[in-house]
């Protein structure tokens, strides 16, 4: 029963990805990833860890604002 729902979401997601444009930053990411010194820089400045923390923080802020908007719509807050 759940399989058709998963297939529906997968089909919708693939159609949506076909419509959306490709990332304009992909060429820059490829150039940066080919640099051999990135590992040494990442040892001093943990960019990967900072990006994970930034992602978690932005997710928490987005959930907070979504909750505030929904709460105002249903008149929980003034």
Question: Which residue ranges make up each domain of the chain?
Answer: 2-73
Q: At residue 78, does pLDDT exceed 90? A: no
Mean pLDDT of the 21-25 span:
80
CA distances to 5, 28, 66 from 72, in Å? 31, 42, 10
Q: How many CA atoms lie within 13 A of 64 on its CB side?
A: 6
pTM of the entire predicted model:
0.49
């Amino acid at each position: 029963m759940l399989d058709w729902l998963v297939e529906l979401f997968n089909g919708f997601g693939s159609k949506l990805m076909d419509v959306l444009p490709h990332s304009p930053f992909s060429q820059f990411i490829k150039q940066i990833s080919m640099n051999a010194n990135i590992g040494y820089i990442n040892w001093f400045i943990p960019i990967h860890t900072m990006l994970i923390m930034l992602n978690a923080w932005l997710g928490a802020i987005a959930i907070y604002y979504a909750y505030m908007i929904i709460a105002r719509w249903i008149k929980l807050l003034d």
